Copies of this chain bind each other. A is one copy, B any other.
Amino acid sequence: MPLTISIDLGSPVPAYRQIADRLRETLVTGHLRPGDALPPVRQLATDLGVHFNTVAEAYRTLATEGWLMLRRGSGAVVVERGVPPPAAPEQRDRLALALRDAVLKMRAAGWPAEEIAIELHKALKGTPS
């Protein structure tokens, strides 16, 4: 599978963060596994309609999180991640807040609680551990 992701250039979320988010999804769900190679920054950038430096920034984000190893010439490779380093409580709070705000915005937009729960389980599905 050639890694097909897409981003929304009209979104207020910066492109490099969207790219990181979508790639993180493939990593968390196991569609990309240790040893797998990611496409070169220039190729993915062309596919998504952004500059390759924008993709490179996303790769660096994921490398910092421990998902990837980057090397010029060799490209980006998924590495064994082990136990995620314990996040700072401040960072933990932000993650929980992001979830809460997402739910609140959906409620405010009129989503039934049912459907929100469904969306949640979709997001949890396929996640190992």
List residues of A whose CB falls within 8 A of some B CB.
8, 10-11, 21, 24-25, 27-28, 65, 83-84, 86-87, 90-111, 113, 116-117, 119-120, 122-124, 127
Contacts and interface: CB of A to CB of B under 8 A. Distances in A.
The majority secondary structure among interface residues of chain A is helix
B108 A65 contact: yes
A100 B127 CA distance: 12
B100 A99 contact: no
A19 to B, nearest CB: 12
15 contacts: A10-B90, A24-B104, A24-B105, A24-B108, A25-B100, A28-B108, A91-B109, A99-B103, A99-B116, A99-B119, A99-B120, A99-B123, A107-B127, A116-B124, A120-B120
Q: Which residue, of A8, A21, A83, A120, has the highest number of chain B Cβ atoms within 10 A?
A: A120
Given A10-B90, A116-B124, A124-B116, A106 B99 contact: yes
Nearest to A103: B123
Given A94-B8, A95-B102, A28 B120 contact: no
Contacts of A94: 8, 11
A96 B110 contact: no
A98 B102 contact: yes
